Amino acid sequence: MGLISEFKTFINRGNVMDLAVGVIIGGAFATITKSLTDDLIMPVVGYLFGGADFSGYFIRLGDIPADFKGNAASYADLKGAGVAMLGWGEFLTVLVNFLILAFIIFLLVKVMNKMTAKPEPDAAPAATPEDIVLLREIRDSLRK
């Protein structure tokens, strides 16, 4: 079997196509989750902690270059200038985004498992132990 035909067989398997569809839908779903986080959740969190833009929280580690023309309080401007920083606000935004995405995927998997769960067949009665069977045979023999 040639390499090309093996590849065709591999691609045509259902689980590979399902994976491809999942990756594409996951990419689209990630943008929705990012918007949910950036546009709805993080502004509320930022408001509660005293700032409207939570992703703007950072700790500057390096010096600002002498030819810097941007805003010294802007994370994006400083990052663009190559200033070393700990962008903990941006990291927190990404972390919340991940947790929301993971929770939604958990819920989707849970629903899918319920939908695809096969009903358990009625349990067959347990086999009668050998000693009970022997005692019943003895009883029946004695009755005769």
Identify the residue with better confidence: 55 or 126: 126
- Per-residue pLDDT at 53: 61
- Residue 126 within any structural domain of the chain: no
Residue 14: is its pLDDT beyond 70?
Answer: no
Counting residues of the chain whose pLDDT is more than 90, the rounded percentage is 6
Confidence at 2, pLDDT banded by 50, 70, 90: confident
The larger pLDDT score, comparing residue 51 to residue 109, is at 109
- Stretch 82-104: mean pLDDT: 84
- Domain assignment of residue 134, yes or no: no
Given a cut of 60, whether residue 75 has pLDDT beyond it is: yes
Q: Is residue 130 part of a domain?
A: no
Burial class of 5 by CB neighbour count within 10 A (0 to 12, 13 to 18, 19+): exposed
Q: Taking the alpha carbons of 86, 91, 92, 93 in that order, is the dihedral positive or negative?
A: positive
Please determine, for residue 74, whether its predicted confidence score (pLDDT) is greater than 80.
Answer: yes
Q: How confident is the model at residue 139 (pLDDT cuts 50, 70, 90)?
A: very high
Task: State the pTM of this model.
Answer: 0.53
More confident residue, 122 or 35: 35
In the chain, helix, strand, coil percent, each to 5? 65, 5, 30
Q: State the pLDDT at residue 52.
A: 55
Per-residue confidence (pLDDT) for residue 7, from 0 to 100 = 78
- Domain carrying residue 49: 3-121
Count how many domains the chain has.
1
Q: Is 131 domain-assigned?
A: no
Residue 48 lies in a domain: yes
Residue 139 in any domain: the answer is: no
CATH of residue 116: 1.10.1200.120
- Report CA torsion sign: 100, 104, 105, 107: positive
